[in-house]
Structure 1
Amino acid sequence: MNRLGAASAVHLAAGTWLLIDLWRAWTPTLITIFGQAATTPPELIGAFAFGCVLVPVLLVAVARRLGREGTFAAAALVVALAGRVVLQLTDGGHLHLVVASVAGIAAMTWLSLALPRHRDAAVTGVVAGLAVAVTTHAALGTWGAVWRDDVWAWLLLAAQLVACLATMRTPAEGRGVGRRFALTVMPGLFLAGVIVANAGRASATLGEAGLAAVAFGATLAVAATLVPVTRVSAAAAALVLTGAVAASALVTDADGLLPAWTVVAFVVGMPALAHLWRAADHGDRGTSMTLALGGLVWVALLFAYYAGYDLGYRADWLLVGVALVIGIAAATTPPAPATTAPPRTLAAIGVTALAVGVVAAAAPALTIRPFDASEPRDDEVRVAAYNLRMGYGMDGVFRPKAVAAILVSADVGLISEIDRGWFLNGGQDQLAILERLTGRTAWWGAAADPVWGDAVLVDASRARVERRALPSHGAVTGAQAIAVRPQGPWESTWFVSTHLQPVGSDEGVTAQSADLAAWLRELGGPMVLGGDFNLQEDSAAYDNVIDVGLVDAAPGGADTSPADAPVKRIDYLFSTPDLVASDVEVPGLRASDHLPVVATFTRR
């Protein structure tokens, strides 16, 4: 790649990094500001999203008609950059939704117009941008830069601005990309965001080692765009990509958790995808319009996958299907003339991949600093039950510090509705972020899928842990219960976190509460039970819990939902009679759509 090609690759990489950051800011607003997950009809949220990604199609059509693709691309990039700066300054709400939508539209318009103009660097530029986006996100401990107000967020934003603006005037060198690359770039970016370049999911799989793996794999993928493509190498890449996606999307252990060995998906998945993109980039019939229409495919895949959690189906096989289609499309493309980068370039990329892997694993300890916590007392334990709504408050802002402040004020956190890597929610491992902020250990219970569920957060590195998947009884979202006996003065007491899922209405958890009660009887012994039960105090479901022999910490207590104007009490703390509850509080915090319930328990 000559100097012009390198400048083009840097330009495309910077813009792709910007686009991914904007997606991380935009997709959560669809279910926290425009609508409400599990409440607003998915088809309405989907219609809004489709409307947004249709705009780049119209803008590209106008640019092509006027013959001003370069001007439109530059203007779109400036709008996207301005929006990114504004997002760093906004404080949520509808302004965030509007700015994120406009900036995302602009960034997708830019990508559609820019790739054909820099055709020789198109694949390498997109893959390099993915590598930078993944590495920086991992280094931030998966706490998205757009949701932070610290020096790290501003340094990364400054680097993004400089990289985009400094290369904006790079001369165009082409008029089109390979048609199959143009058709698969957006589905590939979807697949990368959900699975193979998802730092949140990698963190949920193997912690810091997972972050190292995903950063290493994404960076090594740049080299996969600079080596010759043959029919054999393309077919092998197709098999590797499909296998990597299947391993991470479909394989779980007996408790529904991601096995540690599936971390290999993040090491090999992105290089395989990158090599397939290179194979698909043959000819120049892929136009800016083809790329813009790919945005519609991207949003269709996004909703086809995530709507299943509200509509009652699991779409994991969709991911495997997308990988298969990309693999077949690329592997059956006639091979382009063989070119390869100099060995020293490939070696340099390999060394860089190792270095960024180390940085991705080590940096979160520096970029997320823990709160100071008071020493626990042996004669009492303070417990907080909190439904976190994936970490997003009533204003649609991700506020882990506010959540951590509540949790660190207690000794034990019984937390639910935790997201550990949904691309729809920004690809953040919320549980790992809270572990770092509180300096405590989290014990995870998967519910809806391996990266969405409940946890117990406690200051103990060793514990006895029991998990139980609860039958759905027709509920569209999975439910579970996790019980932890932490090593220390309270090691004889179970701390149990759960989130019951209603069927058809707010009071549809009677059968599931009976299943929970039966399991609690099996556990036996002193216990504190907390979570979002989706039940009322005068219901049969409430009686099922009480009949286990548990005592409500605050009968007739304060309403907890929704957080901005509570009208119902559905979040509870219960305990066995040998524990006495006192100092029960329901802090008025809007870092979720629920309010937390906090109480102190002492032994009789």
Structure 2
Amino acid sequence: MRYRHLTTAALALGLVLLTDVLRVWLPSIITIFGQAASTPAELMGAFALGWFLLALAAPPLVRRVGVRRITLAAAVLLAAVRLALTAAPGGRAQLWLATAGLLAGLLWLAGVAAGTPRPVPGLALGLALAAVGHALLDTYDLVWRGDWLAWSASGVLVALFLATALPHPSSRPAQPAAGGGRAWLLVGPGLLLAGMVALSPALAGTAMSYWSGPGDGIAGPPPLGLALAGGAIGLFVLAALAPVRRWWPAAPVALLLGALLFALDRPALLVPAVLLTAIGLGGCLARTDAPVPDGDPATVAEDAAGHGRADLRRGYAAVAGMLVFAVAAIGYYAAYDLGYPNGWAPVAVAALVAGVDVTAPTPAHRPPATLPPVRTAAVLAAVTLLAAWGHGLWLVSSNRPGPPQTVRLVAYNVRMGFGLDGRFDLTGLARVVRAERPDVVVLSEVDRAWLLNGGHDTLTLLAKRLDMPYVFAPAADPVWGDAVLSRWPTSAPRTRALPAVGAPTGAQALAVDLDLGGGVRLAVVSTHLQPPPGQEPVVQARAVAEFATGYAADRPLVVAGDLNTEPGDAAFAEFTRAGLVDALAAARPLPTSPADDPRQQIDHVLVSPGLAATDAVAPRSEASDHLPVAVTLTLP
């Protein structure tokens, strides 16, 4: 195998492993090192940024010890950590193991950068393969599964990476060369934009669900989501590997426009945001990979100083790019705790990439591509479309005859799918809900594509395991909010944004009408109140009560969710003042938070007076930081 092919394969596979580590490390910051909304966001951000700042010592270390030694040692450590994470240990062990993998990955990047002046084919292929793998796994990472598939696939991935990263007797190292710093600077911004927007299968699925759902900003199952992901991956690879002049100057314009559409936080704009960002990111990468023209002053200066300085510069560029990733990711998600606008983060990163692209010297020529652009793009898109065929057929409209005499309802704050031990625990969530044999499930803190949490579509994954269709409403942004799952057909969905009153995270109320058959209907409202700092969510509770009673009219009504208020508090009184009844009263006290030592009664089910409530429980589980509440409602 030629050296350039080995380098491309090793870089691509290493980037896939590093992405897997990041999908564990990022959520571990908020679920293990700290607790979101209780541990100060500044402290969590400082902890996260510290490791990327520490990695700035990697380039001089690489130069002193030697590129080959450092790169191989870091590659072996990265591979070992990736395998160890498949055991999904949870707790502090998971946090420190993922941190070791992060540092190994950053050190490996610095070493590879020192010896690779043309990284874009490997970078583009790595970003695309990570996205294709996530699509094939239905966004449920191998590191969280722990089954034979996870160990087998992880072992094959690690073996392939080590086979390409370790020295090969038939390979001939490339001649030292200057340049490449611009391309390496974009590895971090590329990871951020790809994982957050351009190549996120979960975001693609959520985006298509808004187009195919019942409307009013509320989504249903995403049958075409992975098809959109496949198209975005194909366009990205084609743009990254095609001749530069085909895309410039359209690439930076497309990238900036896509990032702006994403930053507007409007569900209907997510589809063009995904496609434009994918095309623009690929095109910008392509231009930075092209060799500079003969006589370029920067190249002449590097040649005069020796290639060692060029190697060092590329190493610093790679680590600095990853620092940009950390600053932008932490800045974007910290806004949900600190309450400032966060749309600047993806736009600023896109502007950086576009600026690097626009200021790059115009290439006099471009060497033959390491990978055939059209063929590679077609294969990756086809594999993703195959995943769409396998995962997109799930669609349930109803699986309960009616009308029933009783309805079993579960309300659960699922904390984006992460348990108290910091593991992404779909199995635990599904088990505790399924044990109650629910007819209706009301979910809070539903995450459908946040990069900070690993980029999963938690709602669709959980709905499939429960075999229940859903209706979703965004709260903080288009991919974080609340949902109602029902075994009966839903209709007339409506959502109401709630007053922020100083709370940093957005809140809403989602109302749906359940057709129980025989002319019997039930109105269900799902909400998650966000208290202002140091106060109760009185204003939001009043808004939900007014919205819910107005929506229900003369139908039986249920309001459920994480209300962040306790019986007897002023916010709770707003619901009883509106005529609603505490469906859990007979079982009080019924604390639900924190899950390992419940003391607070903040998860509730309130009903109209015609509904009789029995068998109220809060089953114990540590699959979230809250306990679910379940109750049987007898229809009038």
Going from structure 1 to structure 2, the CA distance change for 1:269 and 1:156 (only over 3 Å counts) comes to: farther
2:96 matched residue in structure 1: 98
1:425 matched residue in structure 2: 453
Equivalence map 1:4-43=2 (5 Å): 4-43=3-42
- SS of the residue 1:287 aligns to: helix
Aligned amino acid, residue 127 of structure 2: L
2:545 matched residue in structure 1: 517
Going from structure 1 to structure 2, the CA distance change for 1:316 and 1:360 (only over 3 Å counts) comes to: farther
Aligned amino acid, residue 320 of structure 2: L
2 CA distance for matches of 1:343 and 1:21? 25
1 CA distance for matches of 2:429 and 2:530? 22
Query: Are 1:319 and 2:346 an aligned pair?
Result: yes
1:548 matched residue in structure 2: 578
2 CA distance for matches of 1:603 and 1:568? 29
Query: Are 1:414 and 2:442 an aligned pair?
Result: yes
Q: Is the 8 A contact 1:441 1:458 kept in 2?
A: yes
1:591 matched residue in structure 2: 623
Going from structure 1 to structure 2, the CA distance change for 1:217 and 1:172 (only over 3 Å counts) comes to: farther
Match of 2:407 among 381, 385, 398: 381
Equivalence map 1:365-514=2 (5 Å): 378-408=404-434, 409-489=437-517, 492-505=521-534, 507-514=535-542
1 CA distance for matches of 2:623 and 2:438? 17
Query: Are 1:153 and 2:153 an aligned pair?
Result: no
Q: After the TM superposition, which of the residue ranges 357-366 and 341-350 deviates more from structure 2?
A: 341-350
> What's the CA shift for 1:295?
2.4
2 CA distance for matches of 1:341 and 1:376? 65
1:364 matched residue in structure 2: 391
Query: Are 1:139 and 2:136 an aligned pair?
Result: yes
Aligned amino acid, residue 591 of structure 1: A
**For structure 2, which runs of at least 5 residues remain unmatched after alignment?**
209-221, 293-298, 300-309
Aligned amino acid, residue 63 of structure 2: R
2 CA distance for matches of 1:486 and 1:405? 24
Q: Is the 8 A contact 1:196 1:245 kept in 2?
A: no
Deviation readout 1:362-396 (Å, 9 max, x if unpaired): 23369x999xx998871111000001111101100
Q: Is the 8 A contact 2:121 2:370 kept in 1?
A: no
Aligned amino acid, residue 134 of structure 1: A
Going from structure 1 to structure 2, the CA distance change for 1:344 and 1:417 (only over 3 Å counts) comes to: closer
> What's the CA shift for 1:172?
4.1
> What's the CA shift for 1:177?
4.5
2:124 matched residue in structure 1: 127
Aligned amino acid, residue 191 of structure 1: L
Aligned amino acid, residue 178 of structure 1: G
2 CA distance for matches of 1:16 and 1:369? 34
Deviation readout 1:436-484 (Å, 9 max, x if unpaired): 1122111011101111110101124542211111111111111001011
Deviation readout 1:122-170 (Å, 9 max, x if unpaired): 1110111111110111111111221112343234312311220110125
> What's the CA shift for 1:91?
2.8
2 CA distance for matches of 1:356 and 1:267? 18
Equivalence map 1:77-116=2 (5 Å): 77-116=75-114
**For structure 1, which runs of at least 5 residues remain unmatched after alignment?**
253-257
Q: Is the 8 A contact 2:515 2:522 kept in 1?
A: no
Match of 1:209 among 221, 224, 236: 224
- Aligned residue pairs, count: 590
2 CA distance for matches of 1:460 and 1:130? 40
Q: Is the 8 A contact 2:252 2:284 kept in 1?
A: yes
> What's the CA shift for 1:214?
2.0
Q: Is the 8 A contact 1:561 1:570 kept in 2?
A: yes
2:161 matched residue in structure 1: 164
Query: Are 1:335 and 2:366 an aligned pair?
Result: no
1:235 matched residue in structure 2: 249
Aligned amino acid, residue 408 of structure 2: R
2 CA distance for matches of 1:204 and 1:365? 12
Going from structure 1 to structure 2, the CA distance change for 1:423 and 1:488 (only over 3 Å counts) comes to: same
2 CA distance for matches of 1:102 and 1:355? 35
1:192 matched residue in structure 2: 194
Q: Is the 8 A contact 1:217 1:267 kept in 2?
A: yes
> What's the CA shift for 1:302?
1.2
Q: Is the 8 A contact 1:123 1:274 kept in 2?
A: no
Q: Is the 8 A contact 2:527 2:563 kept in 1?
A: yes
> What's the CA shift for 1:347?
3.4
Aligned amino acid, residue 325 of structure 1: L
Query: Are 1:288 and 2:315 an aligned pair?
Result: yes
Going from structure 1 to structure 2, the CA distance change for 1:105 and 1:406 (only over 3 Å counts) comes to: same
> What's the CA shift for 1:421?
0.6
Going from structure 1 to structure 2, the CA distance change for 1:374 and 1:516 (only over 3 Å counts) comes to: closer
1:255 matched residue in structure 2: none
> What's the CA shift for 1:359?
1.9
> What's the CA shift for 1:402?
1.8
| Cα RMSD (Å) | 2.4
Q: Is the 8 A contact 1:386 1:597 kept in 2?
A: yes
Aligned amino acid, residue 626 of structure 2: H
2 CA distance for matches of 1:17 and 1:118? 18
Query: Are 1:247 and 2:261 an aligned pair?
Result: yes
Q: Is the 8 A contact 1:46 1:303 kept in 2?
A: yes
Q: Is the 8 A contact 2:412 2:626 kept in 1?
A: yes
- SS of the residue 2:244 aligns to: coil
- SS of the residue 2:249 aligns to: helix
2 CA distance for matches of 1:45 and 1:509? 26
- SS of the residue 1:363 aligns to: helix
2 CA distance for matches of 1:343 and 1:157? 26
Going from structure 1 to structure 2, the CA distance change for 1:52 and 1:175 (only over 3 Å counts) comes to: farther
> What's the CA shift for 1:175?
5.4
1 CA distance for matches of 2:265 and 2:617? 41
Going from structure 1 to structure 2, the CA distance change for 1:537 and 1:72 (only over 3 Å counts) comes to: same
Q: Is the 8 A contact 1:138 1:360 kept in 2?
A: yes
Aligned amino acid, residue 359 of structure 2: T
2 CA distance for matches of 1:176 and 1:201? 38
Q: After the TM superposition, which of the residue ranges 325-334 and 525-534 deviates more from structure 2?
A: 325-334
1 CA distance for matches of 2:238 and 2:10? 18
Deviation readout 1:243-280 (Å, 9 max, x if unpaired): 1222233151xxxxx12x63233334223212212212
Deviation readout 1:480-504 (Å, 9 max, x if unpaired): 0101112333851111110000111
1 CA distance for matches of 2:414 and 2:369? 50
2 CA distance for matches of 1:80 and 1:461? 48
2 CA distance for matches of 1:376 and 1:562? 37
2 CA distance for matches of 1:347 and 1:289? 32
Match of 1:538 among 560, 568, 578: 568
Q: Is the 8 A contact 1:469 1:479 kept in 2?
A: yes
| Overall identity of the aligned pairs, in % | 35
Aligned amino acid, residue 92 of structure 1: G
2:217 matched residue in structure 1: none
Query: Are 1:271 and 2:279 an aligned pair?
Result: yes
Going from structure 1 to structure 2, the CA distance change for 1:314 and 1:145 (only over 3 Å counts) comes to: farther
2:556 matched residue in structure 1: 526
